[in-house]
Structure 1
Amino acid sequence: MKTRRVTAGVASVLALSLGAAACGGGGDDNDGNGGNGKKDAALTSIVNPSSKKGGTVTYEHSDVPDSLDPGNTYYGWVQNFSRLYGRTLTTFKPAAGKEGLEVVPDLAESLGKSSPDAKTWTYKLRAGVKFQDGTPVTSKDVKYAIERSNFAPEALSNGPTYFKSYLEGGDKYQGPYKDKSAEGIKSIETPDDRTIVFKLKQPFADFDYLATFSQTAPVPKAKDNGAKYVQNIVSSGPYQFQSYEEGRGATLVRNPQWDAKTDPIRKALPDKVTIKFKVNQVTIDNDLLSNKITADAAGTGVAPQTQPKVLAGKNAGQTDSSYAGATQYIALNLKVAPFDNIHCRKAVQWGLDKQSVLDAMGGTPKGDVATTLLPPSVNGYTKFDTYATEGHKGNAAKAKEELKACGKPNGFNTILTARSDRPAEVAQATAVQASLKKIGINVEIKQFPAGKYFSNFAGVPSYVHENKLGMLSMAWGADWPTGYGFLDQIVNGAAIKPSGGNNLMELDDPKINKALTDAIANTDDAARTKAWGEIDKMVLDNASVVPVVYRKNLLLRPQSATNVTVTQAYLGMYDYLLMSSSK
C-alpha cells in the first residue's frame, strides 16, 4: 500500500479470541503533560496514557490525500485516519506493540466464518449501528460500498481491486453507476440486514485481512454521488465531518448517533479532530517541536534537514524510530525505452550506489539498504541479494557490461520521478542521479505532488509512456502482513489500471501472475509463506524493481499528545484511532 502493514502469521491472527477487541490504552489518568520523554517508548507502549475526554487533536500534512473517501483511497495514513468516521468489517486492534497487528471484529460481530475450502466467507454485523443521520447500517450498505470502490474506475480509481479480482463474476460486473439493477454483484449476498456473504472464485486464506480495508466501510446508496461523495461523507464512526475543503483540510466533530455499546474498540476521547493540508514539511516539524499540533498525518517522519536538530536537541526523547514495514524502490517501466531491454534494467541494478542513496535520505535513522522487494518484517521475506556489490556501493564494471549488452555502451538518458512534498524522496532521486551518472546514465528528475502522483501521473500508463518516465520513485508497504498483501498490487499484471495504479513497472509476467494466484489459493500456511520469497526472487530476476531502502520513520510526538503508540499495522505511523490531546 501507499503506506501499510507488517507481520504476524495468518494462522495466529485468525485464531485470535473473538473477545480480544478491547482497546489497549493503559489505565493511567493524567493531564497529558508527563511521560513523554523517552526515546522509542511508543514502539512498544502507549506514551502519555490518558482517559480524559475532550480537547482537539490537530493534524497537518505536507500535501493532499488521494481522497478521504474510504472507498477511493490507497494511502495508508488515510486508511488509519478514516477509522475515525468509517467502521469496517474488521480492523487492526488499537493497541501497543504486537497487539496492534491483531485483526479484530469492528462492524462485524466476529471474524469471518469460512467454508472449509476458504471460498465462502460470512460476516454478521453488530446490532444497533447507525449512520450519522440515524438510519441503521445494513449489510446492503457494506455490499454497496464494495461495489462502488472496486467496480467503478470511471469515478473511483485510487483504491485496490482485490474484491473485483476474487469475487465470482468480478470480471463481468460493471459497477453500480453502470449497472442499475437492484441486485448488484451476485457473489455478495445479503440474506438479511445483518448478514453478508462473499462467494469467491478461488480459495483466499487472507480474507479477514481484506475485510480491514476502508472499502468495507458502509455507504448509503441514496447518499452516494461518485467522486463527489468525499464532500459529504456519511459517518458510521464516532466522528462526522463538520467541514471539508478540497485541498485545504477538514474538521471532524462527534457523531451523536455513534454508540459506544456497539463499538468495543474505540474510546473516542477528543471532542474535535482537525487536519490541514499543503503545509511545508519543515513547518510541520517545527509545529511539532513547538507543541502547536498533535501529529504529522503523513506518518513518514521528519524531514532530513530537521533530523539532526531533533536527534541532537532536547526533543530527542520525544522521537520514535519505527520500522515502516515498507520498501523504498525504483520502478523501471517495461514499456518505456530503454527499459524494455532487460540488460538496460540490469545496468541500473549493478550501477546504483545504494549506500549513497540511504545517506542522502538521512542515513540509518531512515532505514537500511534493501536487496529484496519484501521487507524483513513481512511474513514470507527471504534474505537474498541478486545484485550484490561490496558495501552496496555498486559495481561499475558489471553495469558497463550490461550497457554493452543492451546496445547502449555509452549509457543513455532517462527520467526519474519523485514526489515534490517528500524531501527524503527528492534527496533519494538526487543521489540516484549522481550515482548513475558515473556509468553514463543521465537522469533527469521530474517532481509531482504526492496527492495526485498515482491518479494523474506515475500511476497512469498513458501519461508515463507519453512523457517517457522510465524510472519511477515508489514506496510500498504491505496491504496486510503477508507476502501476498505486499506483492499482489505491485507486481501482478492484473493490478495494471488506466489510472491510480501501483504496478508502476507495468510488470505482467505470466509466471509471476500464476505463482501469486497459486500461492494465495494454497491453504498450507508454510507452503504459502515459502512461495512469497520465491516470487520475490522472480521479480528481482526480471530486474524491473530496484530495491533501495527498507524504510524507517523518525516520528516526533509533542508534549500535548496523549495515548501515543506506533502501529505496525499502518506502516509504523502513530495509531490515529487512539491518539488524543491534552490541549
Structure 2
Amino acid sequence: MLALALAACGGGSGSTQQPAQSASGGTGAQDAFNAAVTGVFNPSTKKGGTLKAAHSSDWDSLDPGDTYYGYSFDFGRFYWRTLTMYKPGPGPEGNTVVPDLAESLGTPSDDGKTWTYKIKSGLKFEDGTPITAKDVAYAVARSFDKETFPHGPSYLNELLAWPKDFKGVYKTPDVDYSSAVEATDDTTVVFHLNKPFASMDYIVQMPMTAPVPKDKDTGAKYREKVVSSGPYKFETNEIGKRFALVRNDQWDPATDPNRPALPDRIEVQLNVNADDLDNQIISGDIQLDIPGTGMQPAALGKVLPDPALKARTDNPTIPRLWYVSVIPDNAPLDNVNCRKAVMFAADRVANQTAYGGEVAGGEIATNVMPPAIVGQEKFDLYPSADNKGDLTKAKEALAACGKPDGFTTTMAYRSDRPREKALAEAMEQALSRVGIKLTLKGFPASSYFSDYAGNVNYVKENGIGLAAHGWGSDWPDGYGFLQAIVDSRTIRDAGNYNLSVKNPEVDKLIDQASGELDEAARAKLWVEVDKKVMEDASILPVVWAKSLLMRGKGLTNVAYNEGQSMYDYIMLGVE
C-alpha cells in the first residue's frame, strides 16, 4: 500500500531521489495538491510522537453505542474494534470491508436471515480481560435502547428479530434477547434477522458491534470511561473540553493487521472555533481537523490562491449530500405545495456558494443520491434556467397551498458550522423573494439531533420548518445512503436523522428495494425512492459534496479513505 504513494508524492514510481523539503514544514514527501486522494502521502512506519487534533464542536458521544458522526466512526477505531471495518488506505478499495475482531467476513445462512461471525483468539480489553463473543452480543443489545443512546444507528433495531417485550438491557435486564443476537460460545456471534439482508458485513463495521464488558457498563455515563478494545485507551476525558489517548498495552498487533498505531499519544481539543481551527491547521499548531468536512469559507480565500498552501490540500468528491430538510410537522409545510414553493424559490447558486463553491462545496445537487452511489441517476423536478430559482413556479405553488403572500417558519442549523450558517442566510434571502420569511436558529452540533432538529417534540413545539443537514453513505449503495434519512419507521422521539420524510409510499419502496436480489433491479428501485422523496418535496438538495481538506504539518501516512469519506485517521503518524 505504501508504495502507491510514490507517484503521488512527486518521486515517480521507482524513483530513488530524496524528497524535497515539504511546505508542511517536515522532512518527508513534497507537498502536492490531491496527493492523498490516490496514494498515501508521506509514507512512514515511524512510531512515536503526539498527534494533535481539534474539533469545532463537542463529540456527540465517545460511547461506541451512541455515536453516528462520520468523524467518530473514523477516529473511534483508535480505541474500539468492531467485527469488520473498512479497508485502510486510499482508492476504491477503501469501500470494501475486511475482518477486524472477526476471523473472516460473516457467513450467511437461512437465505440471508442468519449471519455468523467467529471472533479471533487473543483479544483483550485494556484491563487484560479477554474479549469474547458475549461482549459483542451485549454491546449490540445495549445499543437497542434509543432513550439512553439517542445518537447511534438504528439498523440493527430494525433488522434483528428482537423479542416483543425487550426494551433494552437496563429496562428489561431479564428478557432473553438471543432471538436477535447471541453468543453461542466464547468465539461465535450469531445475528438472527427478521428478513433476508445481504449487506450485513457493512452493518457490523459500525461501532455498535464494538465490545462492551457488561460489568463495566455504566449506561449513559459509559461515554465518560469507555473500556478500550483498540490500540489506544483514554488517559484523560474532560467532557466538552478535551481528551487524550495513550497506548493500550493489552492490544496485540498480531491480531490487528489494519492499525499501524504509530503515535504514542493523541490529544484532542473540543469546541474550538471552526475558523480558528483552520488557522491552526495552516500554522501547524494543530495537525488534524477532526470533523473532516473541509475548510471553512474564511480560510479558502487564503489557501486556494497560495500555491504552497494549496499544495497541502486534497479535494476529493465524497458520497455525501448537504441538504435542507423540509419538515412537514407544522403548518403550512404540511401541505406539499408549500414545500414545493420552498424548492422552487431556493437559490441553488447561493446555496452552493455558502458551502464553499464548486471546489470546496461540491456540485449543485438536483436529487438526493450522490453520483458516487451505485446506480444513481440524475434528475431535476424543480429546474430553473440559471439555478437561481423559479419564482413564478414558487408563487404558483404558494397559491396552490393557500398562502399566496407567503408564510413564516423557522430554519435550524448547526451554530458551530459556519457553512451551515451561511446556507441558512442564503435560504432566508432567497425565500424572501416570494414572501416566505425565515427565523434562523443555530444549535450546537453535539446535540443538534438529540435535542433540537432531530427531536420530534422540540420541532413541533418550536415551529421548526427547515433544518440544515448533511448525510454521507454508511456504505455505497441505495440502502446504505437512503434508508436512515428517508424511512419513516426509523423515526423515534429524539436522535433522528430522518427529519422530514414521512411517506408510506417511500417506506413501501424501501422494502421492495432492500428485498430485491437482482443488483440492477435493486438499483432502479432506489432511484424510484429518490424520485418519490423529491416529489414529496421533503428534502431540498444543496450540493453533492466535495471537500477541501488540509494535511497538517508533520503528518505521515495521510490517505483519503473512500469508506470513511475523509482522511483515514488510524493510518496517521507524526514525523
Aligned equivalents of 1:443 and 1:402: distance in 2?
18
Matched, 1:279 2:272: yes
Shift in alpha-carbon separation, 1:249–1:23, aligned structure 2, 3 A: farther
* CA deviation profile, 1:56-92 (whole Å, cap 9, x unmatched): 1111011011101111001010010110110000000
Look up the SS of the partner of 2:446 in the other structure. Answer: helix
Deviations 1:255-313 (A, max 9, x none): 00000111111111110111110111111111111111211001011110110101112
Output the CA distance in 2 between the equivalents of 1:412 and 1:23. 57
- AA at the equivalent of 2:68: Y
Quick check: 1:250–1:274 contact (8 Å CA) kept in 2? yes
Counterpart residue number, 1:332: 326
Q: Structure 1 residues 251 and 433, CA, compared in 2 at 3 Å: closer, same or farther?
A: same
Task: With the length of structure 2 as denominator, give the TM-score of the two structures.
Answer: 0.94
Conserved? CA contact 1:251–1:273, under 8 Å: yes
Contact 1:89 1:106 survives alignment (8 Å): yes
Shift of 1:479: 1.5
1:418 aligned to 2:421? no
**C-alpha offsets along residues 127-179 of structure 1, whole Å, 9 cap, x if unaligned?**
11000011110111001111111x21221111111111011136542110012
Give the structure 1 partner of residue 193 of structure 2: 200
Amino acid at match of 1:141: D
| Letter of the 1:329 counterpart | Y
Q: Which amino acid aligns with 1:169?
A: W
Quick one: which of 470, 481, 485 aligns to 2:480? 485
One of 122, 131, 152 as aligned partner of 2:145: 152
Any unmatched runs of 5+ in structure 1?
1-21
SS in 2 for 1:274: strand
Cross-structure match for 1:341: 335
C-alpha contact (below 8 Å) 1:71/1:145 kept by paired residues: yes
State the Cα distance separating 1:322 from its structure 2 match.
1.7
The aligned residue for residue 236 of structure 2 is 243
Comparing 84-93 and 160-169, the one that deviates more = 160-169
Identity of aligned residues (%): 45
1:255: which partner in 2? 248
1:137 aligned to 131, 134, 156, which one?
131
Q: Which residue, 89, 99, 105 being the options, matches 2:99? A: 105
Q: Give the Cα separation in 2 of the matches to 1:242 and 1:84.
A: 13
Report the TM-score when normalising by structure 1: 0.93
Q: Distance in 1 between matches of 2:271 and 2:479?
A: 33
Distance 2:224 2:552 in 1: 31
Distance in 2, matches of 1:111 and 1:280, equals 41
Q: Which residue of 1 aligns with 2:288?
A: 295
Partner-residue secondary structure (3-state), 1:532: helix
- In the aligned structure 2, how far is the partner of 1:400 from the partner of 1:182? 56
Aligned AA (2:52): T
Q: How many residues align?
A: 558
The answer to whether the aligner puts 1:538 opposite 2:532 as a matched pair is yes
- Preserved contact between residue 369 and residue 550 of structure 1 (Cα < 8 Å): yes
| Residue number among 465, 468, 473 corresponding to 1:473 in the alignment | 468
2:265 is aligned with 1:265: no
What amino acid maps onto 1:84 in structure 2? Answer: F
What letter corresponds to residue 204 of structure 2 in structure 1?
Answer: A
Distance 1:513 1:170 in 2: 23
**C-alpha offsets along residues 401-422 of structure 1, whole Å, 9 cap, x if unaligned?**
0000000001111111111111
Provide the rounded CA distance (Å) in 2 between the counterparts of 1:235 and 1:25: 32
| Contact 2:5/2:42, CA 8 A, preserved across alignment | no
Q: Counterpart of 2:411 in structure 1: which amino acid?
A: L
- Match of 1:564? 558
Query: Which residue number corresponds to residue 395 of structure 2?
Result: 400
Higher RCO (Cα < 8 Å, 6 or more apart)? 1
Q: Does 1:77 align with 2:71?
A: yes
Q: Aligned pair in 2 of structure 1 residues 132, 104: CA closer, same or farther (>3 Å)?
A: same
Query: By how many angstroms is 1:508 displaced?
Result: 2.4
Query: CA offsets per residue over residues 482-532 of structure 1, 9 Å max, x none?
Result: 111111111111111111111111x22222112112211222222212211
Deviates more, 1:118-127 or 1:355-364: 355-364
- 1:5 corresponds to: none
User: Does the C-alpha gap of structure 1 residues 431 and 542 become closer, same or farther in structure 2, counting only changes over 3 Å?
Assistant: same
Q: Deviation per CA, 1:73-122: give whole Å up to 9, x if none.
A: 01010010110110000000111111211110000010011126111111
Q: Would you say 1:497 and 2:492 are equivalent positions? A: yes
Unaligned runs of 5+ in 2: 10-17
Does the alignment pair 1:379 with 2:359?
Answer: no
Task: Tell me the equivalent position of 1:11.
Answer: none
1:182-222 per-position Cα deviation (integer Å, ceiling 9, x unaligned): 74342212111000111111011111100110110000011
Q: Give the Å deviation of 1:360.
A: 2.9
1:68 pairs with one of 62, 71, 81: 62
Structure 1 residue 551 corresponds to structure 2 residue 550: no
* Segments ≥4 residues shifted beyond 6 Å: 22-25, 27-31
In the TM superposition, what is the alpha-carbon distance from 1:180 to its structure 2 partner? 1.6
Given that residues 24 and 94 in structure 1 are in contact (C-alpha distance below 8 angstroms), is that contact kept between their aligned partners in structure 2? no
